[in-house]
Structure 1
Amino acid sequence: MLDRILIFFERYSFGVCTYLGEKFEISQTKIRLFFIYTSFLAVGFPLIFYFFAAFFLDIRNYVKKIRFQFKEI
C-alpha cells in the first residue's frame, strides 16, 4: 500500500521541488524536507504555497506548449 502511494506521488508530482532546486542550486531532498517540516510547524501553510506554485508552473508549461505548437505552423 505504501509503495503504491510513493509511486503515485513520484509519477504525478508537480515538479515544484525540482524547479526550485534547479533555480537556487539546492538539493531537491532538502527542499522537500523543508516543506514537510514547515508544514508541521506552520499548520499546513507551506502546502498552500506548494499548490500555488504547482498551479503556476503548470500554466507556464501549458503556455510553452502552445507557443511551440504555433511556432511549428
Structure 2
Amino acid sequence: MKRLTDFIEKQSFGVCNALGDRLGFSSSSVRLSFVYASFFTFGSPVVLYFALAFWRNVRQAMRRQRSTVWDL
C-alpha cells in the first residue's frame, strides 16, 4: 500500500508531500485532510491544490533554468 501511495504522490505533483515536509506533518495526514476538506466544502480545496501544484512546478522550473545568482 505504501508503494501505491508513493507512486500516486509522485504522479500528482507532490503537493501533499511538500506541505507535510514544510509543516512537519506526515504526507498521509495532509492528504487525508485535503480529502476531508474537499468532501465537506464541495471541492474548493481542489482549486488550492492545483494552485499549489502550479506554483511548485514554476519554482522547480526556475531552479533548473538558473543554477547560480550570477547567471543572468
User: TM-score when scaled to structure 1?
Assistant: 0.78
| Residue equivalent to 1:20 | 19
Listed as ranges, the matches of 1:1-73 within 5 Å are: 9-68=8-67
Letter aligned with residue 47 of structure 1: V
Tell me which stretches of 4 or more aligned residues in structure 1 moved more than 6 Å.
69-72
Higher relative contact order (CA 8 A, sep 6+): 1
Shift of residue 9, structure 1, vs aligned partner? 3.0
Residue by residue over 1:26-66, the C-alpha shift from the partner in whole angstroms, topping out at 9 and shown as x without a partner, is: 01110000000111100000000000000000000000000
| CA distance in structure 1 between the aligned counterparts of 2:7 and 2:31, rounded to whole angstroms | 16
Shift of residue 70, structure 1, vs aligned partner? 8.8
Unaligned runs of 5+ in 1: 1-5
Give me the identity figure in percent.
36
Question: Which structure has the highest helix share of the two?
Answer: 1
| CA distance in structure 1 between the aligned counterparts of 2:48 and 2:9, rounded to whole angstroms | 19
User: TM-score when scaled to structure 2?
Assistant: 0.79
| CA distance in structure 2 between the aligned counterparts of 1:62 and 1:11, rounded to whole angstroms | 17
Shift of residue 68, structure 1, vs aligned partner? 2.1
Unaligned runs of 5+ in 2: none
